[in-house]
Amino acid sequence: MKKTLALFFVLLALFFPVFSVFAQAEEKPIRWVDFTVTAQALQEAASLDIAAHEAGESLSWTELLACYAAMHGGSFAAYRPGALRSLAEKAETKRCPLSDIAQSGGSEKLYLYYCRAYDAVLSGMLGEYRAVTFENGKEVMGEKQYGVCAAAPIAKGYSVTEYNDFGTARSYGYRRRHLGHDMLGSVGTPICAVEGGYVEALGWNQYGGWRIGIRSFDGKRYYYYAHLRKDAPYEDLYPGKIVNAGEVIGYLGMTGYSAKENVNNIDIPHLHIGLELIFAPEQKDGYCQIWISLDELSRFWAQNAIAAEKTPQGTRRAASYFLRADSPQQ
């Protein structure tokens, strides 16, 4: 009997890691994300994460936000400055993980859900990077830094008015919801990549006009930039090309709402920017697409507006850009 039990525990020790891998592999993809984190909460969480990193400690901003969300039903409507700091201090005082704090005041299941959801939204916006600048036309690589490395989509110094009508009805072609964030400006305003990634879509779309689709390096986010300028919508791009956060990728315009290419059928010049989350391959173009509101994220990105310099060819390039540690160009 003892030998049988001993053999059982040996086999359990050998195969438990395998079972764990299968359990993780079978984790179901998230089907819906209602991202309501405010710009203020994002900034506070990022600051705490950065401060902890500088002190040689570990504090994940996404886990901190997930802890708050689990304790408040996913809502940040009543968020007050210092709330995230209090959670971080409580975890440090009790010497326990944030999951324990979330479980004591909310739900561990919700905490785990928000950890996955917020990681999908934010994982490419803070981390290690190098700032790349230009000197006499040549790129100069800066020292390694740790911090926010997502760029504002409108180049620094250009006037922009933001219009948040995410989820409102649209009727051109067919009745649907507006799944993006509109940034009104002048035709020709340089558009910068919010995050680095691979150019996945390029060309004409009858709804978005000239548009660019960029997939993040980790594959979790798809950025959609639409209604770009007529005749010269974007810089030297092609499918598969690597772009980095802050680089000029195109120019604001008013193209779209036309089956015919290169037509201005949008009444007001603006950039339509959308962000789709992808937890499974079938979600990308399927019926379970997850697009989130960018109103608060846009306010968060605004801290990193990048200037666009004129090149000898008459185009624009970023005065600097963020080269993340996970970029294939590192």
Q: Which of 156, 123, 121 is nearest to 302 (CA)?
A: 156
At 136 the pLDDT is 84
At 287 the pLDDT is 84
Token pair of 48 as six digits: 């705490």
Fold annotation for 128-324: Glucose Permease (Domain IIA) (2.70.70)
pLDDT(15) > 70:
no
Higher pLDDT, 151 or 16: 151
Q: CA neighbours within 13 Å on the CB side: how many for 59?
A: 28
Can you tell me the distance from the alpha carbon of 312 to that of 316, in angstroms, rounded to the nearest whole number? 9
Q: CA neighbours within 13 Å on the CB side: how many for 252?
A: 24
The 8-class DSSP code of residue 304 comes to G
Mean pLDDT confidence for 156-177: 90
At 105 the pLDDT is 80
Using CA atoms, how far residue 64 sits from 37, 240, 298, in Å, is 12, 34, 20
At 224 the pLDDT is 98
Q: How far is CA 58 from the centre of its chain?
A: 21
Band of the pLDDT at 330, cuts 50, 70, 90? confident
Lowest mean pLDDT among 18-27, 98-107, 202-211, 299-308: 18-27
Token pair of 2 as six digits: 């003892």
- Helix or strand or coil: residue 308? strand
Band of the pLDDT at 235, cuts 50, 70, 90? confident
Token pair of 273 as six digits: 């920017």
Tell me the pLDDT tens digit for each residue of 260-312.
999 999 999 999 999 999 999 999 998 889 999 999 999 999 999 999 999 88
Give the start-to-end residue ranges of the domains of the chain. Answer: 31-122, 128-324
Mean pLDDT in the chain?
90
Full-model pTM: 0.90
List CB contacts of 136: < 8 A, sequence separation 6 or more. Answer: none
Band of the pLDDT at 171, cuts 50, 70, 90? confident
Mean pLDDT confidence for 150-167: 95
Tell me the pLDDT tens digit for each residue of 110-135.
999 999 999 999 999 999 999 999 98
pLDDT(44) > 80:
yes
Q: What is the CA angle 300-301-303, rounded to 5?
A: 85
By the 8 A CB rule, do 201 and 213 touch?
yes
